[in-house]
């Protein structure tokens, strides 16, 4: 995206009138609401998260904490750009994890990965690198779609959320006034 594109998006959405602090605060609130809703689905509706879901939550937590730090710190110029890049990077990691999850969910049943040990077991008994590799390759439980809204699974919604938060964080911290 060029600087001209970012300016058009920022001015057409009305974000030009907002401060960086308020937009970063809004980004943090969106992340907190997303994590709260995931917790509600887990506890209130009894949908247990698979390992890839947990990693998506961790990525959303990282994005939220970066938005919060950016709001509290409220840096000028290059400092704000660093926050924008970090927010976008964390959101991209979340987007990639969610994309992998969607890919696994759309595999034919005979090609879906086998069910493996739970995340707790892997983290306690495997070296960290091996546990991460096992989680990111997915398991049979990650292939199951337990929840949908408007025909889209939770990881698809997370792709949309991470893409939006990454773009929002970049625009808010690159183009808005202090």
> From 3.30.70.2520, 1.10.3720.10, 1.20.1550.10, 1.10.10.10, which CATH number describes the 3-175 domain?
1.20.1550.10
Phi, then psi, of 65 in degrees rounded to 5: -65, -35
Q: What pTM, to 2 d.p., does this model score?
A: 0.78
pLDDT at 178 over 70: no
Domain layout of the chain by residue ranges: 3-175
Give CA separation, 126 vs 53, 129, 141, 157, in Å. 20, 8, 19, 31
- Select the more confidently predicted residue: 19 or 9: 19
| CA–CA distance, 21 with 75 (Å, rounded to integer) | 9
pLDDT at 95 over 90: yes
**153: which DSSP letter?**
E
Largest CA distance in the chain: 54
Residue 68, pLDDT score: 96
Question: What are 35-93's pLDDT values in tens digits?
Answer: 999 999 999 988 888 888 888 999 999 999 999 999 999 888 888 899 999 999 999 99
Which range of 29-38, 94-103, 135-144 scores highest in mean pLDDT? It is 29-38
pLDDT at 171 over 60: yes
Residue 176, pLDDT score: 61
Residue 133, pLDDT score: 75
Question: What are 107-164's pLDDT values in tens digits?
Answer: 777 776 666 666 677 777 778 777 777 777 666 667 677 877 788 888 999 999 999 9
Residue 19, pLDDT score: 84
pLDDT at 15 over 60: no
Give Cα 147 to chain centroid, integer Å.
18
Which residues, 6+ apart, have CB-to-CB distance to 130 below 8 Å? Answer: 122
């Amino acid at each position: 995206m060029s600087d001209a594109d970012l300016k058009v998006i920022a001015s057409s959405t009305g974000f030009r009138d907002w401060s960086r602090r308020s937009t970063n605060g809004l980004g943090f609130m969106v992340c907190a609401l997303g994590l709260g809703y995931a917790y509600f689905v887990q506890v209130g509706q009894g949908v247990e998260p698979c390992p890839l879901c947990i990693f998506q939550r961790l990525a959303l937590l990282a994005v939220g904490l970066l938005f919060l730090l950016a709001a509290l710190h409220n840096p000028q110029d290059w400092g704000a750009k660093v926050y924008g890049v970090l927010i976008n990077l964390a959101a991209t990691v979340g987007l990639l994890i969610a994309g992998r999850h969607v890919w696994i969910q759309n595999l034919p049943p005979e090609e879906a990965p086998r069910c493996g040990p739970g995340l707790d077991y892997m983290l306690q008994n495997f070296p960290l690198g091996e546990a991460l590799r096992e989680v990111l390759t997915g398991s049979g439980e990650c292939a199951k779609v337990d929840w949908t809204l408007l025909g889209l699974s939770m990881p698809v919604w997370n792709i949309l959320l991470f893409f939006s938060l990454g773009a929002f964080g970049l625009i808010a911290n690159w183009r808005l006034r202090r």
